[in-house]
Structure 1
Amino acid sequence: MTRILIADDHPMVRDALRNAVLYSCQASTVEEADSLDGVMAALDRLDGDVDLVLLDVTMPGMNGLNGLRALRQRFPATPVVMVSAHEERRLVREAIDSGAVGFIPKSTPRDVIAAALRQVLNGDIYLPPFSESEQAQEAAEDAETADIARRIATLTAQQLRVLELVGTGKLNKEIAFDLGITETTVKAHVSAILQKLKVYSRTQAVVIANRVLADKR
């Protein structure tokens, strides 16, 4: 018996996904939900005994991919495929990194959706195809992120602590108090941080550091 849970707040989308599900795997049971709370309630009722969840990225309660992460934490054995009207490569990659076993854009033809569902139910991961330009753009972004990570790796432990406190919006004198050092020492650390990261302001330093940290979350 194959049980699929379709979670989307738009009835027409749920109907389309239901047709694709029935077409692809002859599911014996198709459950539906229109919010993350509804998904959690259905999985609680079924003791997590669902072969696959089709989860809309922007459904109420999702808060981006935080809903996916919460679902995976609570029901780690339940496979989840993200469904979205957006298909940016970075979003797809983040969804997979957050525990999804597939990502299906809503613009995908029914036959392709059906094939994707069969692929996932067979234990594989499904990713939508991307153009060469999108692949080249991601490669460039990855290279830039790797370069930033290398620069951050040159910071000392104390400089990393200073950078973290700068990111919280604290002034030099507050950082000096927190770390038990002089304000002059803090200024020296900030200057070294800007030089090593090849930026010209505290704000730039925080922005590029957060970019690397966001990719690791």
Structure 2
Amino acid sequence: MMLNKNPPIKVAILDDHPLIRKALHYSLEYELDLNLVGMYKNRQEITSALQNGEIDLLVLDYLLAEEDFDGLQLVKHFRLHYPKLKILVSSAIESPAVVNQVIKAGVMGFVGKSKEQEELIAAIRKVASGKRYLSTDMQHELDMFNEPDADMYPYIAPSVRPGGKDIEILVRELTPREMEVIRCYLAGLNITQIAEKFNRSRKTISGQKQGALRKLGMKSDVELFRYQDLIIGL
């Protein structure tokens, strides 16, 4: 608990899991400098509160229900329509590729759902103060992810792949199922989650992902994510 003479930070939670919402509610209700103004399960529910300026900081689940925007789209939507809103992502998908995406989109912090609630509260306070928050281990993983690899320069520097074909042409040559697997993977889903989403086996999804990488002339996930904006935009 922290004493503070300043007005409490107005915090909202957007998460489609009721148990997660309850746990966050319990954690925040004893923090005098944090005022939990609302808990929401989808974008529609939170819209009026955002329009009325009732929220200073949003704790956002990256992966909401299938019928809602995916995490990256949601971040971009909020940043476009509510530019003063501070966003802290809390997600079970603790991938440096996903964190890299949301930070670039304007998120000010990320806390994995495997972390203790105390860390989330500390992250809320830091983001509310206008500073970025990443755990030490995630910052290290993100630095590793963004570090240029000299061995990969022949593959990632040009927009034209082996054989002289532009990357856009190669992407369009993927089968519909390969394309949907790649899109989901770039959106932050892992192989198991994609398999569950499309009711296919992990082996099938893994095979489709690897097949897509071969067709694109790519040798790693890092390289794939370097082309994420281009691929998702097609």
Fold conserved between structures, TM > 0.5: yes
1:212 is matched by which residue type in structure 2?
Answer: R
Q: CA deviation at 1:130?
A: 1.7
**Which of 193, 212, 226 is residue 212 of structure 1 equivalent to?**
226
Cα RMSD, aligned residues only: 3.5
Offset of residue 32 of structure 1: 1.3
Structure 1 counterpart of 2:182: none
Q: For 1:135 and 1:164, locate their aligned partners in 2 and report how far apart those are by CA, in whole Å.
A: 27
The alignment's TM-score, normalised by the length of structure 1, stands at 0.66
**Residue 59 of structure 1 aligns with which residue?**
64
- 1:148-186: CA deviation from partner (whole Å, max 9, x where unpaired): 33233899xxx67x553453339xxxxxxxxxxxxxxxx
What SS is found at the alignment partner of 1:50? Answer: coil
In structure 1, how many angstroms separate the alpha carbons of the residues matched to 2:56 and 2:152? 36
> Structure 1 pair 90/212, CA: closer, same or farther in 2 (3 Å)?
closer
Distance 1:146 1:14 in 2: 44
SS at match of 1:104: strand
Q: CA deviation at 1:110?
A: 2.1
Assess if the C-alpha contact under 8 Å between 1:166 and 1:206 holds in 2: no
5+ unaligned residues in a row in structure 2: which ranges? 1-6, 175-212
- Report percent identity of matched pairs: 23
Larger Rg: 1
CA distance in 2, matches of 1:202, 1:107: 33
After superposition, the C-alpha distances for 1:75-127 in whole angstroms (9 at most, x for unaligned) are 11111111111211111121111111111112221222221111111111111
Aligned with 2:157 (options 125, 131, 150): 150
What code does the residue aligned with 1:110 have?
Q
Task: Give the conservation status (yes or no) of the 8 Å contact 1:43–1:49.
Answer: yes
The whole-number CA distance in structure 2 between the counterparts of 1:104 and 1:70 is 20
Matched residue SS, 2:158: helix
CA distance in 2, matches of 1:105, 1:39: 22
Whole-angstrom CA distance in 1 between matches of 2:78 and 2:37: 19
**Structure 1 spans left out of the alignment, 5+ residues:** 171-200
Q: Which of 81, 84, 99 is 2:88 aligned to? A: 81
2:56–2:128 contact (8 Å) kept in structure 1: yes
Number of equivalences: 180
CA drift at 1:136: 8.0
The AA in structure 2 aligned to 1:99 is G
3-state DSSP class of the match of 2:134?
A: coil
Aligned: 1:169 with 2:173: yes
